[in-house]
Each structure stands twice: as structure tokens, then as C-alpha cells.
């Protein structure tokens, strides 16, 4: 995949000249989506605004079959949707049928973490769909290759002091050296399982033992960044380009985590010079690997995570700035369908 051309409109207007397309979104249970904040719903609505047909496929319905005529196909139960502006009753089904994924012009993988066995199995099935000519976003191999926590190690010049280890003594030495750190599991999401640990914390040993499962589980430690008080910034990369606004997720009083699910407040703001340097370095590299939609997390001037499974914050950015992030994604998807 190559980055979007500069002349492509990027923002509040649809990309003209495309025929109506069929987009399928691979999701969790459709009734679990929360339209008032869910970026997947925002993208579905944007797809309809652009004149396309939108379908939802619940991830657990994905499968593969080879017929007696030696033809194989990846399929799913596709729900054709008509979206509504009401966030409490945001969609209407207009049809439900089992369809091959090659029916669609593009398939967007949007099932939320955790990256468990079922998520892994879905990426294997989507690999087979790609072999049948299906356009899948993000590329399933890239989803497997990019640990949302560990991927930052490739860009070490942007990250804070960090350790990745299961050995408890290594982790303890890191705490001694950095004095004030964040410890987190490699497979967490939404701020789950994150601890701030001071060198003199009386619970320090218990936290290390619990998170590392007595040295049997690899975890990550990072130097605590006091800039978190100004927000954990979610910066979105679409089609190899950088969305010009981020959402700074500011922790509530007495809280270390800025995640919205942990009670943080989202404040949209323009990117700083250092934000742009990080984002513009990563965007084309990740796009070439088939990661068309990425959400990087930046605290102060430091990169802390690279989110590729189901990056969010589109709704909040549009509400506060007017910039149509979901529409920008659909524009990029149109361009992909026209050029690949």
C-alpha cells in the first residue's frame, strides 16, 4: 500500500468520482457498539454519506469452506445496515445473509481487543480471503506482526526509558533505576492492568509478582511521564497521512491513566511540532506494511503505544473540531479500491 496522494481531499469532503461500493466491517456483537462514541459506527455512517452500501459481519461468524467443485471461500454472516442519527437506536437491518467476503469491495477488520485466539483465528481466515483477492484493512499479517505495546521498540528514539521482561529481577532493577514507573501487561487495553510503581512503594513486590505471574509472563515497564497531566494524546494516521488534530485524554483527579474508559476527559487539540515529527515518521512506514488506520499514543514528546486493532477517538475529534476523521478514512478506502 502506498500513501494517499497529496491532491486527495483530506478532511471534511468526500472524494468524488467513485462508484457506489460495498464495505463490510468485521465487528464484535453489533448490539455492543456504542454509537455515541464508537469510531466503527462513525465510519459506517460516513460510508453511507459517501453513497456506499455498508454491512456488519460479527467476527464469530467468519468461516471457510471448500466445495465439491474444489472452490474455497471465506464467508461470514453479513448484516446490511441503514444507520440512523439516534445514538440509542442507531441502525436498522435491511437484510442478513451468509456471503463470501469476495462479495465486498473492501473488508475492514474492527473487532476490539483482546488479541486472543479467536482474534488470531480471524486474521488467519482473513489471510485466506486476501488470497482470494479481497481487500482487507488493516492487513491481517500486519495485525499479527504489530504488538500494540512492543511495536514502539522499532522507533526507540521516540520512546521513554522502557524495559520488556518476565524476569522479576530485571523489572525490579528498572524500578530502582527510574524510581517512578508504569508497569503494564502486553495484551491489555483501555488502561486495564496498568500500575504506577514508585521505588519505595510498599506494594512494589506484590505488583511485580502479580503482573509477571511470578516471572512466567512478559510485561512492559516505562518511566512515568509527568506530562500525562496534560493528556495521553491519541494521534490518528490514515492512509499514510496524519490527521491534524489529536485527542488528549486527561486523567481524572487522583488517577494515573488517561484512558476514556478509565474516566479520562478527551480534549481535541492541534498537533505539536514533536507530535508531527513522530507521526510523520511512522505514517508512511506503517502504511507500506498494510496498516492503513493506526492510532499512536504520545505523552509529552514520547511515543508509548502503536494501536492497530481498532483505533478510536474519531467521534470526539469531529465533535470538538469539525474535522471528519471517519469521512477521511472512507475517502482513503475509496482510493484503495480505485487503485488496487
Residue 307 sits in a domain of what CATH number?
3.30.470.20
Residue 39 and residue 117 in one domain: yes
My answer on whether 196 and 282 are in the same domain is: no
User: Is 257 part of the annotated catalytic residue set?
Assistant: yes
111 and 218 housed in the same domain = no
Active site residue 249: yes
Catalytic residue among 111, 149, 223, 318: 149
The last residue of a domain, from among 204, 224, 244 = 224
Phi and psi dihedrals of 75, rounded to 5? -135, 170
Do residues 283 and 253 both lie within one domain? yes
Residue bearing cell 480471503: 129
Other CB atoms within 10 Å distance of the CB of residue 83:
18
Say which DSSP state 311 is in.
Answer: -
Annotation marks residue 289 as catalytic: no
* 5 within a domain of the structure (yes/no): no
Tell me the CB-side half-sphere exposure of residue 80, using CA atoms within 13 A.
11
| 149 in catalytic set | yes
**Is 317 in contact with 243 (CB distance < 8 Å)?**
yes
Catalytic one among 249, 259, 316, 334? 249
Within a domain: residue 50?
yes
Instruction: Supply φ then ψ for residue 6, to 5 degrees.
Output: -60, -30
Q: Is 305 assigned a catalytic role?
A: yes
One digit per residue, pLDDT tens: the chain, 340 residues? 545 544 344 555 544 456 899 999 999 999 999 999 999 999 999 999 999 999 999 999 999 998 766 677 999 999 999 999 999 999 999 999 999 999 999 999 999 988 899 999 999 999 999 999 999 999 999 999 999 999 999 999 999 999 999 999 999 999 999 999 999 999 877 778 899 999 999 999 999 999 999 999 999 999 999 999 999 999 999 999 999 999 999 988 767 776 776 678 999 999 999 999 999 999 999 999 999 999 999 999 999 999 999 999 999 999 999 999 999 999 999 999 998 7
Q: Structural domain tally of the chain?
A: 3
In the residue annotation, 65 being an active-site residue is answered as no
E strands, 19-67, in order:
22-27, 53-58, 63-66
Distance CA(190)–CA(215), nearest Å, equals 24
The verdict on 129 and 32 lying in the same domain is yes
Q: CB count, 10 Å around CB of 212?
A: 20
Residue 186 to residue 227: CA distance in whole angstroms: 22
- In the set 233, 234, 241, 318, the catalytic residue is 234
Q: Which of 105, 232, 305, 334 is catalytic?
A: 305
Q: Is the pTM of this model over 0.95?
A: no
Q: Among residues 148, 297, 316, 334, which one is catalytic?
A: 297
CATH number of the CATH domain containing 188? 3.30.1490.20
Residue 153 lies in a domain: no
Measured distance CA(151)–CA(148) in Å, rounded: 6
Stated as kind and residue range, the H or E segment containing 144 is helix 140-145
How far apart CA 76 and CA 62 sit, in angstroms, is 4
207 and 231 share a domain? no
Name the domain boundary from 206, 224, 242.
224
Nearest to 181 by CA among 287, 304, 298: 304
Among the candidates 170, 197, 224, a domain finishes at: 224
Among 45, 257, 275, 324, which one carries the catalytic annotation?
257
Tell me: do 40 and 140 sit in the same domain: yes
What is the distance between the alpha carbons of residues 183 and 123, in angstroms, rounded to a whole number?
28
16 within some domain: no
Whether 304 is covered by a domain: the verdict is: yes
Q: Are residues 27 and 52 in the same domain?
A: yes
Give the residue numbers spanning the domain of 167: 161-224
Strands (E), 84-229: 91-100, 106-109, 136-137, 162-165, 180-185, 195-198, 219-223
CA pair distance 121, 307, nearest whole angstrom: 19
Amino acid at each position: 500500500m502506498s500513501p494517499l496522494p497529496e491532491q486527495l481531499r483530506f478532511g471534511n469532503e468526500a472524494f468524488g468520482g467513485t462508484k457506489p461500493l460495498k464495505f463490510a466491517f468485521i465487528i464484535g456483537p453489533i448490539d455492543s457498539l456504542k454509537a455515541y462514541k464508537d469510531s466503527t459506527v462513525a465510519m459506517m455512517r460516513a460510508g453511507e454519506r459517501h453513497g456506499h452500501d455498508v454491512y456488519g459481519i460479527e467476527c464469530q461468524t467468519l468461516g471457510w469452506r471448500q466445495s465439491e467443485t474444489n472452490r474455497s471461500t471465506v464467508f461470514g454472516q453479513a448484516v446490511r445496515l441503514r444507520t440512523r442519527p439516534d445514538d440509542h437506536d442507531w441502525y436498522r437491518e435491511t437484510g442478513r445473509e451468509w456471503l463470501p467476503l469476495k462479495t465486498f469491495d473492501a473488508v475492514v477488520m474492527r473487532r476490539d481487543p483482546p488479541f486472543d485466539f479467536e482474534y488470531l483465528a480471524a486474521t488467519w481466515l482473513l489471510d485466506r480471503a486476501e488470497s482470494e483477492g479481497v481487500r482487507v484493512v488493516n492487513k491481517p499479517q500486519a495485525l499479527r506482526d504489530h504488538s500494540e505495546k512492543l511495536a514502539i521498540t522499532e522507533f526507540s528514539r521516540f520512546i521513554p526509558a522502557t524495559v520488556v521482561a518476565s524476569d522479576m529481577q530485571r523489572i525490579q532493577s528498572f524500578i530502582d533505576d527510574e524510581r517512578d514507573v508504569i508497569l503494564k501487561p502486553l495484551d491489555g487495553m483501555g488502561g486495564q492492568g496498568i500500575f504506577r510503581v514508585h521505588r519505595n512503594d510498599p506494594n512494589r513486590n506484590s505488583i511485580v509478582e502479580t503482573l509477571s505471574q511470578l516471572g512466567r509472563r512478559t510485561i512492559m515497564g516505562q518511566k512515568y511521564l509527568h506530562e500525562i497531566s496534560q493528556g495521553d494524546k491519541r494521534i490518528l494516521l490514515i492512509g499514510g497521512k496524519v490527521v491534524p488534530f489529536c485527542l488528549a485524554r486527561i486523567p481524572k483527579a487522583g488517577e494515573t491513566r488517561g484512558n476514556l474508559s478509565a474516566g479520562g476527559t478527551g480534549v481535541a487539540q492541534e498537533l505539536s511540532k514533536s507530535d508531527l515529527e513522530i507521526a510523520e515518521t511512522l505514517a508512511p512506514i506503517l502504511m507500506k506494511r498494510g496498516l492503513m488506520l493506526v492510532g499512536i499514543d504520545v505523552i509529552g514528546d514520547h511515543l508509548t503505544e502503536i494501536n492497530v486493532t481498532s483505533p478510536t477517538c474519531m467521534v470526539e475529534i469531529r465533535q470538538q473540531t469539525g474535522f471528519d476523521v471517519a469521512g477521511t478514512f472512507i475517502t482513503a478506502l475509496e482510493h484503495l479500491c480505485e487503485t488496487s
